Amino acid sequence: VWKRRRLGRRQRLTRDDGHVIQGQRHVPRGHFRAAVEPERRGFVRMRGAHTEEQRLDGEDLDLEREVILEEIKMYEDDPEDLSQELLLMNVWENHPLGRPITGTYESVSGIDSDMLKEHVRRFYTPENMIISIAGKFDDEKTIEQLRKALSGATRGNEHKKPAAPTFYPCTIVKDKDIEQAHVAIATCGLSVTDERRYQLAVLDLCMGGNMSSRLFQEVREKRGLVYTINSYKASHRDTGMFGVYA
């Protein structure tokens, strides 16, 4: 996840133009967004800052590495995040969907500038990009600006998509010296293209989606067994997950 305090040139771009620029990394893709004034071209310049003009030198990389390592410590100290991460790592073992979004101490510590530049070169290419603009803007002028900004971009090589993950039933227990127990239970869900995903969304809402749901009313309100409880779903290209956290 990009941090504005660590953005280097992107931070100056935000300050000089008065725009809000934010980059985020989600499973399984990343996105970069900006809020700009209609007459400005920040959303076009943003693209260059994101893919072509990035500064990935040692100093910037070391600063960001320290931020991420601190975030990893923070997640490990949060029982809710830790329980979910352990669940994903084990039910989707040895698959990209099971990897921690922030990485591990070993993987983050081992990243260097050349690795990041190679990643940008391989994946931040035209065929992998979707540009979405909403609000007040001139269609023709904006398209022309984008055409010029992307004119020098070259297509990348086709990448083999990972196979659908295997769901491994398991029981994971991690002892931690805290006052509460945090429990995450999950089973196979539905992919993002499954026609039954709408029924699953209704089930999720009724089962544990809010304070009037069955789980919240029965387990917390009536029996007083938990402080919080909710259900959740995650849908991906080839698989999905449905679970309960308490």
Which pLDDT tens digit goes with each residue over 55-102? 667 788 888 899 999 999 888 889 998 999 999 999 999 998 999 888
Q: Shortest CA distance to 100 belongs to which of 130, 118, 124, 74?
A: 74
Q: Indicate the angle between helix axes 58-76 and 113-123, nearest 10 degrees.
A: 90
Q: How far is CA 169 from CA 16, 84, 122, 150, 187, in A?
A: 52, 15, 34, 46, 8
Q: Which tops the pLDDT comparison, 187 or 33?
A: 187
The C-alpha atoms of residue 232 and residue 204 are separated, in whole angstroms, by: 6
Q: Does the pLDDT value for residue 195 go beyond 70?
A: yes
Phi and psi at residue 100, in whole multiples of 5°?
Answer: -65, 135
pLDDT for res 246: 95
What pLDDT sits at residue 205? Answer: 96
Which of 176, 171, 194, 182 has its CA nearest to residue 240?
194
Longest Cα–Cα distance in the chain: 63
One-letter amino acid at 103 equals G
Q: Is the pLDDT of residue 231 over 80?
A: yes
Nearest to 51 by CA among 74, 70, 23: 23
**What per-residue confidence (pLDDT) applies to 1?**
33
Q: Reply yes or no on whether the pLDDT at 213 is more than 70.
A: yes
Can you give the chain as a three-state secondary structure string?
Answer: CCCHHHCCHHHHHHHHHCCEEEEEECCCCEEEEEECCCCCCHHHHHHHHHHCCCCCCHHHHHHHHHHHHHHHHHHHCCHHHHHHHHHHHHHCCCCHHHCCCCCCHHHHHCCCHHHHHHHHHHHCCHHHCCCCCCCCCCHHHHHHHHHHHHCCCCCCCCCCCCCCCCCCCCCCCCCCCCCCCCCEEEEECCCCCCCCHHHHHHHHHHHHCCCCCHHHHHHHHHCCCCCCCEEEEEECCCCEEEEEEC
Q: Does residue 59 contact residue 66 with C-beta atoms inside 8 Å?
A: no
Other Cβ atoms within 10 Å of 13 Cβ, number: 19
Span of 54-63, 69-78, 191-200, 205-214 with lowest mean pLDDT? 54-63
Where residue 36 falls among pLDDT bands split at 50, 70, 90?
A: low
In this predicted structure, the answer to whether residue 20 has a pLDDT above a threshold of 50 is no
pLDDT over 90 for what percent of the chain? 41
3-state SS class at 6: helix
**The pLDDT of residue 51 is above 60:** no
* Mean pLDDT value across the chain: 80
The answer on pLDDT for 192 being more than 70 is: yes
